[in-house]
A and B are shown apart, each in its own frame.
Chain A
Amino acid sequence: MDWLTKFPAMDTDRLTALKKAIDFAFRDFTRANGDLFEWALYPVQWFMYRVEQLLTSSPWPLVILAFAVIAWLASRSTKITIGVVITLLLIGYFDMWEDTMKTIAMTVVATILAIIVGIPIGILMGRSNRIQAVLNPILDVMQTMPSFVYLIPVVMLLGIGRVPGLIAVMVYAIPPIIRLTNLGIRLVDKDVLEAADAFGSSNWQRLKNVQMPLALPTIMAGVNQTIMMALAMVVVASMIGVQGLGLPVLKAISNQYFTLGIFNGLAIVGIAIIFDRTSQAYGKRLQKHLEVIHG
């Protein structure tokens, strides 16, 4: 009755052979195409580098002012703006300024990439049931796969450093923006779409004038979630050489530096709150026309 207590697994030799075959195939693929990918990602690398430079080498009062202005423009809320300034001052005072700026740079660039790639995919998904049927399970896998696993193929393909980290972060953070763009487009009132058709809108006019503006609040919720996931992944990506707040956390884990871990962890919480509140307030402002003044 051996087969009942021990699962009749594939025998070890064959399993090893299978894993080897896949690994070698992927390794060959990366060896053949690694340079190509690196070349293709050069603009991303350049952009990433620029943003990081801008944030780390500008004078800190200017950076804080810039963040305050952005927060104000997005939220029109004094409370949020003051919160942003205080959080950044505290982070600087506890000597985490440079790491924080690197983390913010990575998060911002990854979010921008995720939006650029994710929204068109979400739109396609919203317009076609077939594409939705194909993409949904893929997104499910992406959202449940442990985040560390993303690092492996990226490192094999691009080595360690900023850009592979960025790609891993983006891939990890992209599902919410795709899903919520899809949802937003699908939730647009059928009556309004019919009216747009009745006046002779082309597909593009329908998308531009009706579907996108009405889906925008939902899409903004997706952007918010994407930012949060990117921030979480930036810390994990420190394992493949991404600099920023994740690195001290990693160091704290391996050396049991409790306070170092807590401080850097709190800094991450701080910028998460900044991003979250600001982007949510912006999303709310987009829905201003929905305020019912007439009863």
Chain B
Amino acid sequence: MVEQSAEIGISVRNLYKIFGPNPEAYIDAVKGGMTKTELNDKHNHVLGLKDINIDMPGGGIQVVMGLSGSGKSTLIRHINRLIDPTAGEVIVGDEDVVKMNENELREFRRHKTAMVFQKFALLPHRTVLENAVYGLEIQGLPREEQETQARRWITRVGLDGFEDNYPNQLSGGMQQRVGLARALTNDAPILLMDEAFSALDPLIRMDMQTVLLDLQKEIRKTVVFITHDLDEALRLGDRIAILRDGEVVQQGTKQEIVLHPADEYISSFVREVNRGRVITIDMVMTPLSGEPKGMPVAAGSVLEVAAKKMTDSNASTAHVTDASGKPIGNIDIRDVIAAMVTPVDHESAAAA
């Protein structure tokens, strides 16, 4: 039932965006080091994005995190070129989106990308089903085919029985499920999610994150997820890039971000994170020396899971096993708990 879309990576290279009536005039100055403030004060142009370089591997969830005004929504709109860059390249697969002409761009948007929006952006005059088929309708598929696909995804996101309702008759969470179903029905290899869950209340948001993670196990799309919420970023992101004032301040896996925040700005976010759910036991294990001790725990488990398993079976030590079940290291419950509650010292974490 699940078709495997070819995984397509996205590579953003030297991307600049200047907002204003005459952005080309200042691009060289900005490349030469003119700051955002200077550009704004002296020339009345706004520097939206500055020298963005992100490689997003195919089939994974890339989160772009930043506070409002950091340029994250501008960045995601460059991937399907809803916004034109001032300079730079956006390579999707082996094509540069920036160089596409109008027709190529339209075909690209129809077949390669699908998007979910913060404010849902559903068509209010169409029912749930009619909204879900939109992408396929635009592509000109036969109606029957459109509906089969759409019904499947409507069921998959848990909206069975609501096919004939109008968006206004649904709650915010359900509306965003429609948004998700509409994007998934399009069956594009790239899924762009612009603060898709930010407008939802916390419980519904958690719920939707679970839906997305479950789906992603099957569909393996290249997901670009924009958020201002670090917890959401850590929960969803295979890789995370953090944006501030239009610049990438740090990118890497969630553990890299949590364990080695690049500067004070990121540290201040990371301090509030539930580390037990982010850091994996690989970070605290000692390499195997001699016999594996205690019960086995799979590598890649987060601390919280390992701690629960160990306390449940009253074990103070355990060994870590890799994917094939081979023991690769030992962990001690004290180390696990220590890593959960106090920030791991950067040097020792790096050594581990």
B95 within 8 A of A: no
Residues of chain A lying within 8 A (CB to CB) of residue B114: 198-199
User: A191 with B119: in contact, given A199-B109, A213-B125, A214-B125 (CB under 8 Å)?
Assistant: yes
Judge whether A195 is part of the interface by a CB distance below 8 angstroms. Answer: yes
B110 at the interface (CB under 8 A from A): yes
Given the known interface contacts A197-B82, A202-B106, A210-B123, the answer about A289 and B138 at a Cβ–Cβ threshold of 8 Å is no
List which A180-201 residues lie within 8 A (CB) of chain B.
189, 191-192, 194-201
Q: Contact: A292 with B125, CB < 8 Å?
A: no
- Are B119's CB and A199's CB within 8 A? no
CB-CB < 8 A to A199: which residues of B? 109-110, 114-115, 134-135, 138, 186
Stretch in B38-46, B149-157, B165-173, B209-217 with 4+ CB within 8 Å of A: B165-173
Which of B123, B138, B168 contacts A200, CB < 8 Å?
A: B138
The chain A residue with its CB closest to the CB of B105 is: A200
- A interface, CB within 8 angstroms of B: 189, 191-192, 194-202, 205, 209-210, 213-214, 289-294
Question: How many contacts between A and B, using CB within 8 angstroms?
Answer: 74
Q: How far is the CA of A195 from the CA of B193 in the complex (A)?
A: 12
Count of B residues near A, CB < 8 Å? 31
The residue of chain B having its C-beta at the shortest distance from the C-beta of A288 within the complex is: B166
Minimum distance in angstroms from B140 CB to a CB of chain A: 10
Chain A residues lying within 8 Å of B125, measured Cβ to Cβ, are 213-214, 289
Minimum CB–CB distance from B35 to chain A (whole Å) comes to 30
B124 contacts across to A, CB distance below 8 A: 192, 214, 289-290
Once the chains bind, are A191 and B121 in contact (CB under 8 Å)? yes
Question: How many whole Å from A159's CB to the nearest CB in chain B?
Answer: 46
Query: What residues of chain B lie closer than 8 Å to A202, measured between beta carbons?
Result: 106, 138
Residue contact B115 to A198, C-beta cutoff 8 Å: yes
Residue of A nearest to B165 (CB): A293
Check: B113 CB closer than 8 A to any chain A CB: yes
CA distance A288 to B232 in the complex (A): 37
Residues of A within 8 A of B135 (CB): 199-200
- For the complex, is B145 an interface residue (Cβ under 8 Å from A)? no
| A-chain residues with CB within 8 Å of residue B113 when the two chains form the complex | 198
A192 to B139 alpha-carbon distance, docked (Å) = 18
Instruction: Give the residues in chain A near B197, CB-CB below 8 Å.
Output: none
Which B residues are in CB contact (< 8 Å) with A198? Answer: 80, 82, 109, 113-115, 192
- Say if the beta carbon of B117 comes within 8 Å of chain A: yes
Contacts of A290 in B (CB 8 A): 124, 168
Question: Given the complex of chains A and B, what is the CA–CA distance between A194 and B238 in angstroms?
Answer: 28
Cβ-based interface call for B107 (8 A): yes
Chain B, range 128-161, C-beta contacts under 8 Å to A = 134-135, 137-139
Distance A289 CA – B124 CA, assembled complex (angstroms):
7
Question: In the complex the two chains form, is B138's CB within 8 Å of A294's CB?
Answer: no
